[in-house]
Amino acid sequence: MPFLTGSQNATINGGSFVDQSISNILVTSGQTGIDILLEASNRDAAHDSAAREYDPRCHPGTREQHIEDIVYWAVPASGADVPLPLFWMKGLAGVGKSAIAQTCAERLKELGKLGAAFFFSVKGRDKASEFIPTIAHQLSTEFPDYRELVDHRIRHDRGILDKTMAVQFQALIVKPIQELERAGKGIGKRIAIIVDGLDECDSTDAQCKIIEIIAAAARNGVTPFCWAFFSRPEPHIDSSFTRADVAQFTCTTLLPISNDTDSDIELYLRDGFLNILRRRNIPTNSPWPSENDIQTLVKASNGLFIYAATALRVVAHAGSLEEALRAVCATSSNLTGNSAVPGLDAFYMAIMQRIPPDVLPNILLLCRLLCSDDAYAGGHQIGVILYSNELGLSEIEFRAVCNHLSAVLHIRDYSDSFDPTQFGDTNRPFQHTNTAAIEELRGHIFNKLGGSIYFYHKSFRDFLWDPTRSGTFCVRSSPTLNAYYKHCLEVLVKYEESYSFRGSGEV
């Protein structure tokens, strides 16, 4: 041992020793490298996360050709030409990209060919800083030898997780994989990684950087992974994938808005109405809905699964099934033109127009809060209790208000109990907990106060944000903004009135 160098006639009884020489610094906090990696990752982004249990997946019997094509791309037949290492499915909002990505992830998992998946979402899963750690952590759960190497790297250099995405990718993915291959312990060939909702990552620069990093790895053949991306065809993403040095390694497919999906949407609607009947304990051989109702909704959907899904939610949450379906079909029948987006907008407009006038001001304030940069674009799910306090409503009153948007707004309740010990040693003063742990604790509590609330689909937020689409219901309109600022001032005044100042002779 270095600290005994040169000593003579030394006698030591008992004790334990840790060699902390510069060449062999150990992490003594009790955390493993994998524990540290897990803290930096986003558990909710995985394809099998409980937080995504109710996120869309393809209805049985639908989208089969697209699913088969992607699975075959990831796992080609023996002897077939090896497909390109990158795959990009692009399509507008509501066409079903995330459902296809989820279903493909499940199929590939069954085949033992899914390495990892990251489902980006503005609902709390949009941070680029969590992307590489999440992929690395998921890979570590699949491949024990890889896990051991990554654990060792992070324990001896926790600073890796503070580096750029490019450095993290090399340190946590490329180098460990290459080290395993040199040792004859490779993880296999053509392991799929799925990245959904890239356009919902928290910055356009980060979106392009992710494509650049992964395309470079594919170009250089430094990992055995094939990467499938699903996103909207945003201009910056399109330009990244169509660059000559990226396009030659990328298989691109468009998921169009098309009436070719009518049969899939019809199947989805029929099964959805059957489920509604079962939940209401109504015989499934009921003549409701009529064949004409089904065909009206199929036509109105015009290739958008989100339209059909929203229609089913409107009916499912209504007191009277027949009245709700009549209202939905009436809205659908009045649609004009062949563009699916105006059709979806008309549907959203009808939902807003049915809100009672006495409830509408609170609805618009809530929508403004949900659409704000902090609450929505920043990806921070905020608890129901905090939102109800913000609006000056009790939790019961708040949930009653939200019921008017039940077709587009979801409240996720939490049944699991809160365990503060996961954020630090509860036997020590709170100020001794590191800042990151405090922020995580704060976010954890806020997210679970009364449940968290968010829109089912980003298309409704887009509708509310664009005055040309939502008109007087736009959350950026002058009346809504004036009401919002007035409300904020009222809240501020109430807070000031609740303070009492002592020491100046006045209370």
Residue 458 tokens, joined: 């980003």
Asked if 310 and 408 sit in the same domain, the reply is no
Q: Are 381 and 478 within one domain?
A: yes
Tokens at 298, concatenated: 């199929």
Q: Give the global pTM.
A: 0.72
What's the structural domain count of the chain? 3
User: 374 pLDDT band (50/70/90 cuts)?
Assistant: very low
- Higher-pLDDT residue of 412 and 65 is 65
First-last CA distance in the chain: 66
Q: Which amino acid is at 351?
A: I
Question: Long-range contact list for 290-295, CB < 8 A, 24+ apart?
Answer: 293/325, 293/329, 294/266, 294/269, 294/270, 295/266
Q: Two tokens at 471? A: 């008109």
Read off the tokens for 467.
């005055």
Last residue of a domain, one of 208, 229, 256: 256
Q: Is the peptide bond between 256 and the residue preceding it cis, with omega within 30 degrees of 0? A: no
Contacts of 421 (CB under 8 A, 6+ apart): none
Query: How many residues would you count in the chain?
Result: 507
Q: Which of helix, strand or coil describes residue 229?
A: strand
In this structure, the answer to whether residues 249 and 280 fall within a common structural domain is: no
Residues 478 and 409 in one domain: yes
pLDDT for position 340? 47
Residues 338 and 456 in one domain: no
Domain for residue 93, yes or no? yes
Say if residue 28's pLDDT is above 50.
no
**Nearest residue to 314 (alpha-carbon basis) of 373, 354, 255, 266:** 354
Residue 179 domain-assigned (yes or no): yes
Mean pLDDT of 257-275: 90
Confidence of residue 426 (pLDDT cuts 50, 70, 90): very low
Mean pLDDT over 449-470 rounds to 84
Contact 124, 374 (CB under 8 A): no
384: confidence class by pLDDT, cuts 50, 70, 90: confident
More confident site: 266 or 53: 266
Whether 7 has a pLDDT exceeding 90, the answer reads: no
Please say if the pLDDT value at position 452 is more than 90: no
34 near 150, Cβ under 8 Å? Answer: yes
Average pLDDT over residues 454-472: 87
Strand order in the sheet with 250-254: 114-119, 191-196, 225-231, 86-90, 250-254
> For residues 301, 304, 305 and 311, what is the CA-based torsion angle, rounded to 10 degrees?
-40
Residue whose structure tokens are 């949407």: 265
Residues 251, 150 share a domain: yes
Query: Are 59 and 178 members of one domain?
Result: yes
pLDDT at 350: 86
Residues 188 and 74 in one domain: yes
Task: Give the pLDDT score at 221.
Answer: 92
Residue with tokens 């992974």, as numbered in its chain: 225
Angle between helices 291-301 and 321-333 (to 10 degrees): 50
231 and 342 part of one domain: no
Q: What pLDDT is attached to residue 446?
A: 57
Distance CA 185, CA 388 (A): 55
More confident site: 486 or 433:
486
Task: Give the structural domain span for 141.
Answer: 33-256
Is 30 exposed, middle or buried (CB count within 10 Å of its CB: 0-12, 13-18, 19+)? exposed
Are residues 106 and 57 in contact, defined by beta-carbon separation less than 8 angstroms? yes
* 326 in the same domain as 252: no
Domain boundary among 196, 221, 256: 256
129 with 156: CB under 8 angstroms?
A: no
pLDDT at res. 23: 32
Question: What CATH number is attached to the domain comprising 473?
Answer: 1.10.10
Considering the domain architecture, whether residues 471 and 459 belong to the same structural domain is answered as yes
Using 50, 70 and 90 to split pLDDT, how confident is the model at 21? very low
Q: At CB < 8 A and 24+ separation, what contacts does 50-56 make?
A: 51/412, 52/102, 52/119, 54/410, 55/98, 55/102, 55/119, 56/96, 56/98, 56/99, 56/102, 56/305, 56/309
What six digits make up the tokens of 358?
């006495």
Least confident of 180-194, 211-225, 436-450: 436-450
Confidence of residue 210 (pLDDT cuts 50, 70, 90): very high
Residues 222 and 301 in one domain: no
* Confidence (pLDDT) at 419: 52
| CATH number for the domain that contains residue 143 | 3.40.50.300
Q: What is the pLDDT of residues 170-196, one digit of tens each?
A: 999 999 999 999 999 989 889 999 999
**What is the rounded distance in angstroms from the CA atom of residue 425 to the CA atom of residue 195?**
36
Quick one: pLDDT band at residue 20, thresholds 50, 70, 90? very low
Q: Confidence class of residue 293 from pLDDT cuts 50, 70 and 90?
A: very high
Residue 95 lies in a domain: yes
User: Which residue bears the tokens 């999440």?
Assistant: 134
Where does a domain end: 331, 353, 375?
A: 353
What is the pLDDT, as a whole number, of residue 56? 84
Higher pLDDT, 414 or 128: 128
Task: Calculate mean pLDDT across residues 5-31.
Answer: 48
**pLDDT cut 70: percent of the chain above it:** 80
What's the chain's average pLDDT? 83
Can you tell me the mean pLDDT for 63-78? 93
